[in-house]
Amino acid sequence: MKKEILRALRETDGFVSGQELCSRLGVSRTAVWKNIRSLQDEGYEIEAVTNRGYRLAGVPDIVAEEEVGSRLETSRMGRQIRCFSRIDSTNQYAKKAAEDGAADGMLVIADEQTAGKGRRGRSWVTPPGETIAFTLLLRPKLSPDRVSMVTLVMGLAVAKAVNTLYPLKAGIKWPNDVVINGKKLCGILTEMSAEVMHVNHIVIGVGINANMTSFPEELSRIATSLKLELGRDVSRAELIAQVMAEFERLYEKFEEDGDLRAVSEEYNALCLNAESMVRVLDPNGEYTGTSHGINALGELLVETESGQVRNVYAGEVSVRGVYGYV
């Protein structure tokens, strides 16, 4: 109900009458009033003026279920939301919930992670109030070797969402780091539960540096935040909702084709490694070449000096820009 009230207030530029809220939600005036009071207690500034109704004057930066849910325009992603002010790791929670039967599209959000994970067991810092940490659960019909493509779709969705909401130019460092001005904004950790040729479910954990103003010494040269780039705070709930919208649109295309053919053009337009020199850290021998962006399988196409084009598989090798971090 609070989610519906917020949605109604947000959709209206001005006041919404109590009567309208009552009929729209099919509840009594008292019920509306109680929920408005409860929202005010949570930090929402809602003006109440006799004979005019209610107006949303300010929202707190919280990542509560109703705050995210009332902004979602998706039909599949985030239809079920679990919000935590503090949790060990959203990926851990989502994986366990998935084993217990949680549905495709479930979104797990945390204000603070006490044991956030990066790739290969590295830790990922999620201090309260400053970052975005969420995990999306999917149950795709995929074989395990196609899962890396979903990670690319999420990277693209985050970059798109950032560029839609803010006057920034976020790009993608292949396969899925989102980068602004040469510094990393977002990390993605995709994990799957699978049989040998059959995926049970995947969880995609996304960490976005939203309102952080400082980083640990070892990260400060390579990491940035939206606040550092914009000079102001951002609404985390708004960004999560926008990422979900972008992801749902892109993922539908991916699901229809079973690969990235309909997505690769958008990806390559934002891919910072496309048409640039890269160094491929292949365990079987490093080499340098010109990257031509991804193909329909999400592989990075790298043309070596001899003119041979190699397909570089995500995760198999590491790619570094010849100049700087990207």
Q: How far apart are CA 174 and CA 30, in angstroms?
A: 53
Site for a copy of itself in 49-108 (CB under 8 A): 92, 95-96, 99
- Position among 147, 210, 212, 280 found at the interface with a copy of itself (CB under 8 A): 147
Cβ at position 59, least distance to a copy of itself in Å:
35
- Residue 148 or 224: the one with the smaller Cβ distance to a copy of itself is 148
On whether the CB atoms of residues 246 and 231 are closer than 8 A, the answer is: no
Pairing of strands 107-110, 81-84: parallel
258 forms part of the interface with a copy of itself (CB under 8 A)? no
195 forms part of the interface with a copy of itself (CB under 8 A)? yes
Cβ at position 315, least distance to a copy of itself in Å:
3
Q: Where are the beta strands (DSSP E) in 43-140?
A: 45-49, 53-58, 81-84, 107-110, 131-138
Q: Where are the beta strands (DSSP E) in the chain?
A: 45-49, 53-58, 81-84, 107-110, 131-138, 170-173, 177-180, 183-194, 199-209, 276-281, 287-294, 300-304, 309-312, 318-321
Q: Which stretch binds a copy of itself (CB under 8 A): 15-23, 32-40, 283-291, 314-322?
A: 314-322
138 forms part of the interface with a copy of itself (CB under 8 A)? no
- Position among 10, 29, 37, 119 found at the interface with a copy of itself (CB under 8 A): 119
215: CB partners within 8 A, 6+ apart:
209, 223
- Residue 70 or 190: the one with the smaller Cβ distance to a copy of itself is 190
Binding site for a copy of itself (CB under 8 A): 92, 95-96, 99, 119-120, 144-145, 147-148, 151, 189-198, 200, 314-316
